[in-house]
Each structure stands twice: as structure tokens, then as C-alpha cells.
Chains A and B, each alone.
Chain A
Amino acid sequence: DGLKQCLSEFKQQLAWVERLDVTSGQVADPVSQSASDKDAVDPENDFQREMSFYRQAQAAVLEALPRLRKLQVPTRRPDDYFAEMAKSDQQMQKIRQKLKSKQEAMERSEKAKQLRAMRKYGKKVQTEILQRRQKEKKNMLNAVKKYQKGLSDKLDFLDEEQTSSQGNKKGSANQRIKKGPNAKRRYKNQKFGFGGKKKGSKWNTKESFNDVSSFRSKVAHNKGPGKGGKKALNKRPGKRARQKMKSRAR
């Protein structure tokens, strides 16, 4: 009661334009669950609390702006009206920078995530393909080996690859496989490939000593057709002839 008395003494009778005060509830929020009951706002829940303040401000603005317009108080600043702002331009720049950097950071992290996901997927697909190819190769080789060894005289494995079987190709393929690799290839394989014991291949064993298959008599007695007469030109005289020449020269 003392309060009320004081208030009545203290209260100023001013036109609303001077005071610009609005007492209002909140704007109805379509999303909110609590049915416009302010007491339900939990002060600990920051987001809810701030939203309630925001809505109260909105309600006030929606109420006050028409009144102001009626009283011809301007509310919108014209574009060519430049005046000092409460926060300096520098401050606003800083704020803008911060927002931009936050957005960029988010975008970057999003991109990185996507890249990682794509790489994982790509790698998976790649490994699948490689495995499939290897499997096919293995199967093919096995089938070929089997056929070589004569276990199966059916050439079914070729069918798996070429669904549209062409008879010619099939026949020629058969022939080739029978002979195996080329003679040249076989020689090279024997010399260089297919593992096996290589270390003792150049020793003089009884067999290699008695083996005269690489003896060409014409080459040994120099009776074969000359290579091109070059050797005749370059024939070096014997030791005695050379000594004679030397003593003669002196």
C-alpha cells in the first residue's frame, strides 16, 4: 500500500509517444509445445528462455509500429541517412569476419567428410573389382591347366567368357593350346624361366664333356662360307712371321 501510494506520487502523466512502452504477452509460436503459458518456460533451458524473450519483443514491435506510424514517428531509416551507429564500423567488420569464418569452417568440415566417405566407397569398389578380376584369372588358369594335363577334354571354360561361340576361333584356340608356347618361347623358358636348378647348369659334367652337338666342323676348320671377307683382310700373321718382320724392320 505504501508502494501504491508511492507509485501514484511518482507516476508521470506523459503522452505515450514520450514513453514508448508496451506491455504484451508473447507472439504465438506455432512450433512451441507449451501452450503459451509463460510459467512453463524453464529458466534453465537457455534456448527456450531466449526464445520467450524474443517472442515478447516481437509482440511489442507488432503492437507498437502501427501506433507509431499513426503518430507519424518514422521507424524506417532511409538509405541515404548516414549517422553514427552504436557500434563502430570496425566492430561490425569484426562480427562479419567471425560469422564468415565460422561458416567457412563448417563448409570445410562438410567437404572433408564427404571426401572421406567418397574415398572409402571408391576404395571398396576398387578392391571388389580387383578381387573379381583375380578370381576370374585364377579360374581361367586352372581350367587351362586341367585341360593341358588332360583331366578334362571339354573346353567349357571358354564358353564362360564367350557366350556367343564362334567355331573358328574355338578350333584355332585348341590347336594353339596343344602345342603350348612357341619354340622360341620354350627355349627362353628353358634358359631363363620356370625356376628349377640353375646353379649347376654350366659345370663340366661327364654328359656336357661328351656332348659334341655344338661342334661345327666347318667353323672349326674355317672352311665354311666366309662372313663377308672381313676376316681375310684382318688376318694377323703368325708368331714366327711377326718376329721375322720385326728383325727385318730393325
Chain B
Amino acid sequence: GKWKNKERVLIFSSRGINFRTRHLMQDLRTLMPHSKADTKMDRKDQLFVINEVCEMKNCNKCIFFEAKKKQDLYMWLSNTPQGPSAKFLVQNVHTLAELKMTGNCLRGSRPLLSFDPTFDKEPHYALLKELFIQIFSTPQYHPKSQPFVDHVFTFTVTDERIWFRNYQIIEEDASLVEIGPRFVLNLIKIFQGSFGGPTLYENPHYQSPNMHRRLIRLSVAAKFREKQQVKEVQKIKKKGSKVLIEEDPTEVVFETPAEEKPVEIQLVKPESKPIVKDKKKPRKIQRKKQKKLFRTE
């Protein structure tokens, strides 16, 4: 057949990406035969330069990876001439080369795209769905593609994020094995233009990684400060001045002194009481010393 659907996707990145991102990019390039690669873009250039790069390469879609602080990875998906674009924060990246991904598929075979029902419920998700479909589906009869459909991409919305998985179809009864790669996309914003333009949608649940790290640090600091405060309060309590109670003049009314007993002088020694052995009490152990004294005497 003839290749009619002329989609070309430009996949490239900025400088300062780490090995995982690089491998992810390479994996996407192998999985999508309708993709083109480009050199790393300098961070100094503005983002709308990318539109020009795409035009030069004759691509109408773009996946751009941007790494900041050598820690955070952002991904731009865009329809280059005039269409919408979206920025995501990428997390939990696992590449094709990981040994736990045991599946394999033909290089360039067309994927099935599977979406969550949630994608139809919200307009911004519907837009994203359309973007994903146009970018990730391999056009039919593309010269580099294989005619078989043997793997499926899943996009699922869970926990306000979009989870991507790639499975190989083994049997007709839908037994699947994961091929990889895997990543999680956290939507930041959707723009009307490509890499710019008015913001169509902003994700209220998104928290920038900087904020996230800051919050963690603040919470730790807050705990520490709380402990300090508690300690200080305790110190003050200890030192605290005792409250003086005023003397109540009416208290004296109830005082009655005790009666004085007559003083008796005893002249005769009182009779000694008979010693009654208390058998209930344990016998006192006689000290050996006393016995010794008696013997010497």
C-alpha cells in the first residue's frame, strides 16, 4: 500500500542529560520508525528555536527532553507548526535494557495504543490522548515499519499521573510480557502554540520538584524547631517563680492550742513487763559476737 499518513517525529534532547534519559531516548527511537534524531540543543537557545529545527528536518511532531539540575527530566510533546504542546515531568524511568523486561518485538512494528477510560472524561485528557495517538502510532505502510502488530502501548491515568507501559503480545488470547521502556508523566501545562503561546491548561496537582524538595527540607526543619521550642518551654517552667499566697488573717481563728499536761517525776523504777514470745514474729538471729563476749566473761 501507499504511505499516506506523513507523520514524522523529531526526538532529541538538551545538554546535561544523564545516561538513563539518553537510553530512554534511544529506546523511543528504535520503537518508533517514524522518528528522526538530532543533536543536543544548547540550553542558551530559546525554546521556539526548536520549531525551526523541526521545520528544517521536515518533522511535524516533536519530543524534546530537557534535563535541569542534572536531576529533573522534563519532556515536551508538541505539534510543531502551530498545534498544541504539553510539558511533562518524567519520573520512574526504566529502559529497554533492563533485565526484568523480558519481552521483545519487531523493530518498527506498529503498536496498538491502549487508553484509560479517564482520557475521555476530561477535555485536557482528550487533547493529550489525541496528541499521544498522533505521535506514537506508526503510520501504515511506512517504509521502515513492519506490517505486523505485535506490541501494545498502554497509557493509564493513576494518581493524577500518566503511566506508560509497553507490552508484547504473545498469544491471540492476550497473554502479555513487558518489553519496556517505562515512565511516568506528570502534566505541568498545555500550551496553545508549539513551545509557547497562551496556556490552555495548568495542572493543579503538579508540584515542581524544587518545591517538593523544599517541602521535605522544611518539614525536617519544622520538626527540629518544634523540639527546640518544647525544650525551651520546659526550661522556663522549671525556673518559674513560685506563686506567693497571701496570708489569710482569718485563719488564726480556728487555732486551739493543746492542753498542758502536769509534769510527773518518777521515783520508783516501773515493773518490767513479762516477755511474751511472739511465735508469729520471726526469731531474731543472735549475733555471734554477743555470744563470744559472754564466753570470755
Judge whether A86 and B102 touch: CB under 8 Å: no
Contact with B along A36-47 (1 / 0, CB 8 A): 001001010000
Considering the complex, give the chain A residue whose CB is closest to the CB of B184.
A43
Residues on B with C-beta less than 8 A from A53 are: 154, 156, 163, 165
Selected from B97, B106, B139, the residue in CB contact (under 8 A) with A77 is B106
0/1 interface trace, chain A 49-88, chain B, CB 8 Å (1 if under): 1001110111111101100100001111100000111110
Of A9, A65, A86, which one neighbours B106 at CB under 8 angstroms?
Answer: A86
State the CA gap A64–B97 with chains docked (Å).
28
Cα–Cα distance between A54 and B113 once the two chains are bound (Å): 13
> Are A10's CB and B79's CB within 8 A?
yes
Smallest distance from the beta carbon of A126 to chain B beta carbons, Å? 46
Contact indicator B96/A57 (Cβ below 8 Å): no
> In the complex, what residue of chain A is closest to B123 when comparing beta carbons?
A3
> With A6-B200, A21-B115, A54-B167 in contact, is A86–B107 under 8 Å at CB?
yes
B124: which A residues are within 8 A, CB to CB? 3
How far does the alpha carbon of A47 sit from the alpha carbon of B140 in the complex, in Å? 35
- Contact between A86 and B176 (Cβ–Cβ < 8 Å)? no
Interface residues of A, dominant DSSP? helix
Contact with A along B150-194 (1 / 0, CB 8 A): 101010101100010101010010101001000000000010100
- B30 on the interface (CB 8 Å rule)? yes
The segment from B42-50, B126-134, B207-215, B249-257 that touches chain A is B126-134
Does any Cβ of B come within 8 Å of A162's Cβ?
no
Q: A23-B119, A57-B167 are in contact. Are A3 and B127 (CB under 8 A)?
A: yes
> Quick check: B139 and A18 within 8 Å, CB to CB?
yes
A75 and B169 in contact, given A3-B127, A54-B176, A61-B176 (Cβ under 8 angstroms): yes
Q: Which residues of the other chain, B, contact A232 by a CB distance below 8 angstroms?
A: none
Cα(A85)–Cα(B30), bound, Å: 9
Q: Chain B interface secondary structure, helix, strand, loop or mixed?
A: mixed
Evaluate contact between B200 and A92: CB separation under 8 angstroms.
no
Are A17 and B123 touching (Cβ within 8 A)? Answer: no
Interface: A4 (CB within 8 A)? yes
- Are A73's CB and B149's CB within 8 A? yes
A12 partner residues in chain B, CB cutoff 8 A: 130, 134
Which residues on the A side are within 8 Å of B127 (C-beta)? 3, 6-7, 10
Residues from chain A with Cβ under 8 Å of B154 in the complex: 53, 56-57, 60
The one of B102, B104, B116 that contacts A85, using a Cβ cutoff of 8 Å: B104
Q: B31 touching A86 by the CB < 8 A rule?
A: yes
Question: Does A19 lie within 8 Å of B123, measured CB to CB?
Answer: no
Contacting pair B169 A61 (CB below 8 A): yes
Min C-beta distance of A26 to chain B, whole Å? 9
**A68 and B149 contact, CB distance less than 8 A:** yes
A86 to B: closest C-beta gap in Å? 5
User: Within the assembled complex, what's the spacing in Å between the Cα atoms of A85 and B31?
Assistant: 10
In the docked arrangement, what's the CA distance between A240 and B150, Å?
126
CB distance from A38 to the nearest CB of B (A): 8
CB <8 Å contact, A19 and B150: no
Is A91 a contact partner of B97 (Cβ separation < 8 A)?
yes
With a cutoff of 8 Å between Cβ atoms, the chain B residues found around residue A65 in the complex are: 169, 172, 174
Minimum C-beta distance from A23 to chain B (A): 4
> Among the interface residues A9, A77, A84, which one has the most CB atoms of the partner chain B within 10 A?
A77
The reply on A2 being an interface residue by CB < 8 A is yes
Cβ of B17 within 8 Å of any chain A Cβ, yes or no, is no
Q: 1/0 contact trace for A138-174 toward B, CB 8 Å?
A: 0000000000000000000000000000000000000
Q: Which residues of A contact B105 (CB under 8 A)?
A: 85-86
Query: How far apart are the CA atoms of A37 and B167 in the complex, in Å?
Result: 23
Interface centre among A11, A54, A61, A73, by most chain B C-beta atoms within 10 angstroms, is A61
Docked-complex contact B169 and A7, CB < 8 angstroms: no
* Cβ 8 A contact of B120, one of A9, A23, A27, A52: A23
Provide the residues of chain A in CB contact with B123, threshold 8 Å.
3-4, 7
B143 contacts A by Cβ under 8 Å: no
A64 contacts B112, C-beta separation under 8 Å = yes
List the A side residues contacting B163 at CB < 8 Å. Answer: 49, 53
Query: Do B130 and A10 have beta carbons less than 8 Å apart?
Result: yes
Q: Whole-angstrom distance from the CB of B102 to the nearest CB of chain A? A: 5
Chain A residues with Cβ below 8 Å from B106 are 77, 83-86
Q: Which residues of chain A have C-beta atoms less than 8 A from B198's C-beta?
A: 2
Partner of A52, one of B146, B148, B156: B156
B-facing residues in A1-33 (Cβ within 8 Å): 2-4, 6-7, 9-12, 14, 17-25, 27
Supposing A3-B190, A86-B31 touch, asked if A18 and B150 sit within 8 A by C-beta, the answer is no
Which residues does A use to contact B, with CB under 8 Å?
2-4, 6-7, 9-12, 14, 17-25, 27, 38, 41, 43, 49, 52-54, 56-62, 64-65, 68, 73-77, 83-87, 91-92, 94-95, 98-99
17 contacts between A and B (CB under 8 A): A2-B198, A6-B127, A7-B126, A18-B139, A19-B133, A23-B129, A54-B176, A57-B152, A60-B112, A62-B174, A73-B147, A74-B147, A83-B107, A85-B105, A86-B106, A92-B104, A95-B102
